[in-house]
Structure formats: structure tokens, C-alpha cells
Chain A
């Protein structure tokens, strides 16, 4: 009896919490981005255009559509040591709609990614709910995806089923401090490795064998701190984010991201950023197996490695209140990444592998 009373009190408390009025909830801003991206590193080049258009329909609905092209030319270390260099094109279409009712936003999204030997479809739903007059936002997300995996010039066909669960809370701590905590579980079943790659057994290439299930979990904490100028205006902000990842393949990973964003004059916004990443190896990874195992992998993505990325983004506001745009900005982002592998050798030299990558983005953003 007491138990049911307590549970009833809990539900009433939750109902009261979720019925609390909020004035801050708004739909995402109307915006378009036209972007060109370029990646070069480790023998792989990927580049192409991307487009994102988001537009409100009334005050409660916002819809968006996106288009992304990756022209990949790869002669990476995996490719040159086990297969032939290749070129391919990946096209990704996305779309979604968000509906705002009082202090709750409900979103639906669809993404389709298409390559000659890999097709992926994902459908997702999100709910975000503001409480405490908009100071706290709780969010929930669920998405389900199905990938069709093929292999060029063969009849090979398999699939991957993917389920993603997201929980988040964003908190306004003070008028200049924001915090957010996110959790995500990614559960996958199916063919989870590449049909083109090979493991090594006593120096000889053998087919890779992965488990057909993988459960991965990530939790991340982000902090944004605003800093004022002498006249009391917001002049800059510091961004810190840490993520811990673990999965059933025994990979453990730490990601730390640091950023500083500052305004210079009325038109410039500059943002240097740094990212550190390191992970331990999957339990079935080996650089060179000495005996046949049930599961065998030599993908460097599953090996013990770290990376450091240093970059900067600069935004220049071209104009405001013209051509039906409230403002238009030109942005440039550059990042250099150093990958260092602790147990993955270049079989051509016998040395531990490491490489540098360069990532460029040039994009035009318009708000209307």
C-alpha cells in the first residue's frame, strides 16, 4: 500500500515537472549552409560538396534537408598491402522535421547513405523537453538503421542492424555557464567488418573474422563558459568536452576536446580547437597472430592508438539584412591530425605506423 502511494507520488511529481510552463522553447533557426570539404591523409583523399537547408513552417514546425557527397580515392595502408587502390563516391541524403508544442520538441529524421558496395538507411526520433523555465532540457533519442554490405565484383551480400538510444540533459548553470551530459548506447548486429581487409597469421594474410554483435556505450560531459569584456559584453567563450567510450569488444576510449571562440570586431569570429583521442585495442585484435583464433582482426581502427588534432575555424560576416537574408557568413576550418599506432606495423617497413591528415572545410552560411 505504502509502495503504491510512493509510486503514485513519484508519477504526480514527474507529471508536475513536465507540465511546468516554459517560455524559452523555440524551433531551430532558419539557416542554409553550402560546404566544400577536403580530407587528405594516410593515402586517402575524400572531398565533395554538402548542403543543409533548414526552414521553419509557422512558429511550431521546422523542416530540414541535407545532401552530402564524399568522393573517395583510397590507397591507404590497408588497401596497398591487401588489395588494390580504388575510387568511389558516397552520397548521403537526409531530412527531418521538428515539431514544437509548448516546451516540448519532437523530431523525426531519415538518413540514406549510398555507396556502390554499401547502403545504409537510418530513421530516428527525438524528444526534447524544457523545464525550470528553460534552464534544464532533457532529451531522448532513438534511431534504428539497416546497412546492406556488399563487395565489389562479387555476389557477397550481408547486412548490419543498428539501434541507437540517446539520453541527454542540458543545464544553464549561470548566465555565462552551460553544461550538458549525454549518454548513448549503440547496439549492432550483423556483418561488422570490411570484406576487403585481412588479418595476419604468422606473417601471412588470412580472412578477418569479427563477432556479429557489438554493444557500444558513450557518456560525455560538455561545458561552455562565456567571458565578458570590460564593457560587460560577451567577448569570448571556452569549450570543454570529455567523452568516455566502452564496448563489448573491450575497446575503451577517451576523447578530450578544447575550444576557444572569440569575436574580433563586428565581423570576425575565430575559434582555435584541439582534440585528443586515445583507445585500447579490441580483444580480438593482433598485429600478427601466432595461432588461429575464433575472431581475428587487424583493422587499425580496432588497435591501440592515439590521435591529436589541432585546428582553427574563422568566420567572416559578409553582410546582414540583404537579399532576404538576416545575415550571411563565410567560414573556413582547418584541422591537422596526427595518428600514432602503438601496435600496428607498416608491413612494408616493419615499423610502427603513423601518419598526418589535413582536413579543410570552406562553407557559406545564410540565416533567413
Chain B
């Protein structure tokens, strides 16, 4: 019963999403493409700074920079 209710809610939300018209038109997206608005403007620099923090902290993950494993010991 719970699964059915949940499925119905998600289905309605998804169908509702399909019906939504994009509210920011392509000609209004100039600002969004500007480097000022970029979440990670400099990927290499962001990755390095994230590495500096990661090796000294207990927390990891959900960052804007992509990274791999490292020794750090």
C-alpha cells in the first residue's frame, strides 16, 4: 500500500514535471553561461584546494571538485 501511494505520488510529480514549460527561455540564459556563475570555474585549481582540505579533515565527498584516492599518510 505504501509502495502504491509512493509510486502514485512520484508518477504525478513526474507527469507534472513533463507538463511544466521551461520558465527561463534560451534568450534569457546569457548570465548563466558566464564564468561568474560557474560552480567550479577552475577545475584543476578547485581539485587541488579540495585535496588540501581532504587530507586534513575527517569529512569527504559531495564537493564541486572531482578527485581520486591518494595516500595522504
A positions within 8 Å CB-CB of B: 2-3, 6-7, 9-10, 13-14, 16-17, 20, 23-24, 33, 35, 37, 39, 50-52, 66, 68, 90, 92, 94, 109, 111-113, 115, 117-122, 124, 131-135, 143, 145, 147, 149, 160, 162, 164, 166, 170, 172, 174-176, 178, 180, 182-186, 193-197, 216-220, 222, 224, 226, 228, 234, 236-237, 239, 241, 243, 245, 247, 249, 251, 253, 255, 261-263, 269, 275, 277, 279, 282, 301-302, 307, 309, 313, 331, 333, 335, 339, 359, 361, 363, 365
Contact = CB atoms under 8 A, between A and B. Distances in A.
**Main SS of the interface on chain A?**
strand
Contact of B31 (A24, A33, A175): A175
A109 B72 CA distance: 21
B4 A3 contact: yes
B10 A10 contact: yes
Bin the interface of chain B by size.
35 or more
Nearest to B27: A175
A20 B32 CA distance: 21
Interface in B1-55: 3-4, 7-8, 10-11, 14-15, 17-18, 20, 22-24, 26, 28-32, 34-39, 41-45, 48-49, 52-53, 55
Contacts of A195: 73
A145 B69 contact: yes
Contacts of B3: 3
A115 B55 CA distance: 15
Nearest to B66: A109
A133 B59 contact: no
Given A113-B70, A175-B32, A218-B62, 19 more contacts: A17-B17, A23-B26, A118-B70, A132-B17, A145-B68, A147-B69, A166-B62, A175-B28, A182-B63, A193-B73, A195-B73, A217-B61, A241-B64, A251-B59, A253-B58, A263-B36, A282-B58, A313-B42, A331-B45
Given A145-B68, A226-B31, A175 B4 contact: no
Given A219-B62, A255-B59, A277-B53, A131 B17 contact: yes
A17 B14 contact: yes
A284 B32 CA distance: 46
